[in-house]
Structure 1
C-alpha cells in the first residue's frame, strides 16, 4: 500500500547501477538493490522518487514505473551498449546534459539529490554548479580501499580519488553504511565533510518466507546435501577463487553429498564472462565439476529459495563497504562465513551470527566452512541469531525511516539557505 501524501521530490542518481535490472548481470550488485529498495521504501512513505541511471540498450524503456510514487528514468550518456564503470567517465557530461533536459521538459526541480558511487557523485557536483539543492552521497566503495586489493589499477584511478575527496568535503552529507566505512573515509580520504551512518537493509519478510525443505524440493536439491552458497557478481575482488579453493581442500571435500552453488553472472559473451571462465577452469583443475553448479543470473523472486536451501553462505570478498548478500543470508536464517574486511565486520558478529576469517585465505575459509557443516545444530543457532540481528537493525523500512529523517533535516537547511539568499538579493 503506497502513501498518496506527497512529501516532496527526491532524485536518486545511480549512473552505472540500474535499479530496474536483476542482480548478477554485468556489474549489477548491491548498489542496484540499494537504490531500488531505498526508492521503493521512500515511495511507500509518500515521497516522489525518480531514480536516474544510464540507458545501456536501445530496447530498454526510457521510464520504468515501479509504483505510483517511484520510477526509474534512463538517460542518454554515450553509445547504447554496456560500458564498464571504469570507462564511463567521459560520458558523464552527456548524462548531466540529459538530466537538465529531463528537468526542463517535465518542469521538475529536485530539492534532494542523492548520488551513488563516485561517477554519480561527479554528476552531483556538476549539477550543484547550476541549481540549489541538498547533495547527499553514498560511496558504495572507496577507491582508496579498493585499489589496495587489486593488482591492476585502472587509468581513471586518480580521477576517482580526486572526485571522492571532493564529494566528502563539499557534499551536504555523506551516508556511510557502516562504522568501518566512516573510519576508512576519515583515514584515507579526508578529515573534512559531514558523515552520517545509515546501514543498508533487506526485505526481512521475503527472505524469511521460505523453509528449507520446500526450497530444496523446488531446486531439486537432495534433502541430505551439504550446500555451500555464493551469491554475487563474477568480479575478481569478490574472491570466488578463494571460496572454490577452500571447497577443494580435504576438510571440506570430506563431507558427503557436498554441493557448491554459485549464483550470479550475466549471459555468455558479456564482460564478466571472462572471470566466470577463469573460475570454471579452477573448478576443473580441482576436480569439483560434479559438485559445483553455476546457477547464473536469477530473478529476485527465486533468490530466497537459494538462501533457504543452503547450509552456509560464503562472502569471500577482498573488500566490501557493507555486503548486502550477508544480511540477505542472515535474514533467511542461514549462517555466514565472510571476509574480515570493511562493512562485513559490522554486519557479521563473529561466532554469534557467523564467522569472520582473513580474506584471500582459502585454508581459513575451509576451516570455517567445515566447522559449520560439521555441527548443524550450531549452524542453526548462528542462523537464528543472524536473523534476529537483521530484524533489529537492517530492515528496509527502518533504513528508509533513517534516510527520511536525514532528508527532512537537509530540507530544513535548504529552506534556510534559500531564504537567506532571498534576503541578501
Structure 2
C-alpha cells in the first residue's frame, strides 16, 4: 500500500512516546513492502525532506503562535496543504493519523479525496484528567470523538485503552483493534551494547551514589499523572528499612513540575537523597541504566508504559503501579512488580522486594528479556497493523 501518515512528532522532535512509536513502526511496515510518506512538524537541525529507514519524511513549517491551540490549527493547515500536494503526485491507499492533534488536517484531506482512515489513539483527554472538567478539555475531547467517528478503524495499545476509547469517546467497540506498543530492535541493541561496553562504571556510579547505596530511578516526563510524588512519598519508608542506603534519581524534563517535586523532597527531609538530572540523552541513559538497581513507574494514568519495555531491554528490575495498561505490559512477579496505584506503602514494599532479593531480581531480568522477544517486537506488531489497514480498505461509510 501507499500510506500517508500524520504525526505531530517524529525524531529528533520527541515530546512523548508517540515519536518513538512512529519511528519504530513505520520502518517495519516498509520491510513488509509498503510505501510510507510521513508528514510531521519541522524541527531545528533536521531537513524538511529525508528518507529515514525507508520512511519518506516530510517536515512542514508551522506558523508560530503563543497559543498552543492556535499553533495546532496552523499545524493542521500546513499538514493538509502538503498532503494534498503529495496526493496530486502519488496514489495513496490509506491515511494513518496519530491522536487528536491532526484531526482537522485529516478532515480536509478526505473532503478532497475519500481515503480510508486509520487512527491510533495513544491517550485520551478523559484519561489524562480523570474526566472532562473544563472548556479546554471539552475541546480536545471533541476532536478525539470526531477523528474516531470518521475513522474506519481505531488502534489502541492495550485492552484498557479499548475500554476507555469506547466509553470516553463513544466509539464503536467493533472497530477498535488492540495492538501493543513495542521496542525497536535498535533501542534494544543499544541498551545491550551499553551493558557490554567497557567504561568506568565506578566513576559513573559515584556521580549518583555511594558504593554501598542502591540506585532507584524514574525516567519520563515530569508531570502529575506520572505519579512521581508517590515515589518521593515512598522514599522515607524505603530509607528507614535500608538504613539510608538508597539514592533516588529522577530523570526527565518538566521544569515547572520539578520545582514542586523538589519542594516535596525538601519537606519530607529526603532532599539529600534525591537527584534531579533534568533531560538525559539516550546514550547517557543507556550507560546510567547499567549502574541502576531498580526502575520505578508509579503512574496515576498510563495507557501503555513503553518506559517499562525500555527497562526490560536495559536489564533493570521494574516496579510499576496497577493503572491503565501497565498490568498488561508487566507480569507481576514474573517480569516486574505491580503495586497499588496512589499507594506509597504498596510502592515501598514493591521496591524493597526488588532491592532485598537478589535471586528475584535476576529472575525478573531474565523473564523480561524473553517477554520483549515474544510480545513486543515491532516486526510482529507491524504485521498486526497491516491487517488493520486491509480491514479499513473495505467500502467506506463516512460520518461527519
TM-score of the superposed pair, with normalisation by structure 1: 0.81
Aligned equivalents of 1:215, 1:386: Cα separation in 2:
25
Aligned equivalents of 1:202, 1:161: Cα separation in 2:
29
Aligned equivalents of 1:234, 1:219: Cα separation in 2:
27
- Give the aligned CA root-mean-square deviation in angstroms: 2.9
Q: Tell me what 2:217 maps to.
A: 229
Q: 1:126 to 1:378 in 2, by over 3 A?
A: same
Tell me the matched-pair count.
Answer: 389
The answer on whether the counterparts of 1:307 and 1:334 sit within 8 Å (CA) in structure 2 is yes
Mapping of residues 209-248 of structure 1, within 5 Å: 209-211=193-195, 217=201, 220-221=204-205, 224-248=212-236
Q: Tell me what 2:82 maps to.
A: 99
Superposition deviation, residue 352 in structure 1: 1.9
Aligned equivalents of 2:198, 2:260: Cα separation in 1:
33
SS at match of 2:205: coil
Mapping of residues 12-27 of structure 1, within 5 Å: 12-15=5-8, 17-22=9-14
The answer on whether the counterparts of 2:249 and 2:274 sit within 8 Å (CA) in structure 1 is yes
Aligned equivalents of 1:44, 1:56: Cα separation in 2:
26
Superposition deviation, residue 179 in structure 1: 1.0
TM-score of the superposed pair, with normalisation by structure 2: 0.86
Which among 57, 62, 70 is matched to residue 72 of structure 1? Answer: 57
SS at match of 2:280: coil
Aligned equivalents of 1:361, 1:121: Cα separation in 2:
37
Q: Tell me what 1:37 maps to.
A: 24
Cα deviation code 1:112-139 (max 9, x no counterpart): 2211111124432332222122211111
Matched, 1:328 2:340: no
Which among 181, 184, 188 is matched to residue 200 of structure 1? Answer: 181
Superposition deviation, residue 154 in structure 1: 5.6
Mapping of residues 111-150 of structure 1, within 5 Å: 111-148=93-130
Q: 1:312 to 1:18 in 2, by over 3 A?
A: same
Aligned equivalents of 2:170, 2:75: Cα separation in 1:
24
Which among 289, 297, 312 is matched to residue 294 of structure 2? Answer: 312
Aligned equivalents of 2:96, 2:113: Cα separation in 1:
14
